[in-house]
Structure 1
Amino acid sequence: MRKLIALLLVIAIAVGGWWYASPLMTLKSMRDAGLAGDAEAVSAHIDYPALREDMKKEMSLLIARQAQTDPGPLGEAGTAFAQSIISPMVDRLITPESMAEMFDATRQAQGAPLPALGGEKELEIDRQSLNRFTARAEGEEAGLEFARDGLSWKLVGVDVGEGSSL
């Protein structure tokens, strides 16, 4: 009986340790891959279809928020135009190839992959559940949303925050 209790305790500690440490390990892996210019390794941590859908939703919400500040006919026309180009724009921008280019350009410009992946500020991990977390730079409203994929995590969205605008 004692062996069973000890085994269950070890399993509980291992699961708790994984739950606590695995988001940090994923972010470190992404940062290291970005620093190395390994776009393929970064892409392994990104769910592109989910990220595209989330970006379309977030951009639509930002445009709708912005439209409330300019309710006239020109504002409506601008909103309609912006809404019509969101989907094709996001589909072209959120690809493994564009992510590779972005990481290369950022790395060459400043020697680091992305501020959101651990630049000058500490990262804060906000766990929504066992299957989701958001990583934010300390004091920032915007963050990167991750979902569990087996025993690892994948980037599935971007939380731009409530106060963000275009």
Structure 2
Amino acid sequence: MRVPKRIQGSTTRPLLITLIVVIVIAALGFIYASPYIAVNNLKRAADARDVQTVNSYVDFPALRESLKQQVADMLTRRLGADNGNKMATIGAMIGVTLIGPLVDAYATPDGVAALLNGMPPRGNPGEQPAPPPAAGTEGQAAPPAGNNANQANAEPPARETTAGYRGLNEFVITYRRGEGNANYSAIFRREGLITWKLAAINLNE
């Protein structure tokens, strides 16, 4: 029996609308999740020293400029807090002259891996990015030296990592530890609709 055209149309239209709604929801979900995907892909590539993939997820000129400014600000604050400690002041002044080499060391796949594993630059002369932690030890630190058994067995402060949007075109990962450890954030910026790149570091989060 031939189905009337009116019935065919009334059946097809709701299915088409439902399909369009599903596609739109899926697309919006993918767009929302795109920075999380970018961060995960970049961290894996940086840990594996996959230079080509790292380059596709990092805006190195912007990152270098951010690192230069942040390290300079960090050393300036250190100079202001020395309160007459001449040796500390001399050390900080030496550090200022070494901003360029430090930035060069961190604006690399090794440096990106360190930044995404919670190991930012400290502004020390001759500083190099720390290697990423071994599998299963991420966020842990070496036990403190000393003969005190309780001290040796004490666990280091756990690192807390939070991630989320800070505006429509900015996505931020914030790293926090216990007291006495600097907090900082890695800032990703949108390029296009679903492309995100590491573009800045905030060492005074």
TM-score normalized with structure 1 length? 0.67
The runs of 5 or more residues in structure 2 that have no matched partner are 1-13, 118-129, 140-157
Relative to 1, partners in 2 of residues 1:106 and 1:83: Cα closer, same or farther, differing over 3 Å?
A: closer
Shift of 1:65: 1.7
1: CA distance, partners of 2:176 / 2:92 = 32
The runs of 5 or more residues in structure 1 that have no matched partner are none
Aligned-partner residue type, residue 158 of structure 1: I
Of structures 1 and 2, the larger Rg is shown by: 2
Aligned-partner residue type, residue 58 of structure 1: Q
Shift of 1:40: 2.2
Q: Deviations over 1:90-118 (max 9, x none)?
A: 1344235x559979x846x6137x75xxx
Secondary structure of the residue aligned to 1:44 is helix
By relative contact order (CA 8 Å, sep 6+), the higher-ranking structure is 1
Residue aligning to 2:202? 159
Aligned-partner residue type, residue 30 of structure 1: L
Number of residue pairs matched? 154
- Identify the structure with the greater helix proportion: 1
> C-alpha root-mean-square deviation of aligned residues, in Å?
4.0
Divergent runs of 4+, >3 A: 6-11, 13-16, 34-37, 75-80, 98-103, 120-123, 137-141
Within-5 A mapping of 1:21-60 = 21-34=33-46, 36-60=48-72
TM-score normalized with structure 2 length? 0.56
1: CA distance, partners of 2:57 / 2:203 = 20
Q: Deviations over 1:3-47 (max 9, x none)?
A: 99x969965x45642442011111121233245442321232111
Shift of 1:59: 1.0
Secondary structure of the residue aligned to 2:98 is helix
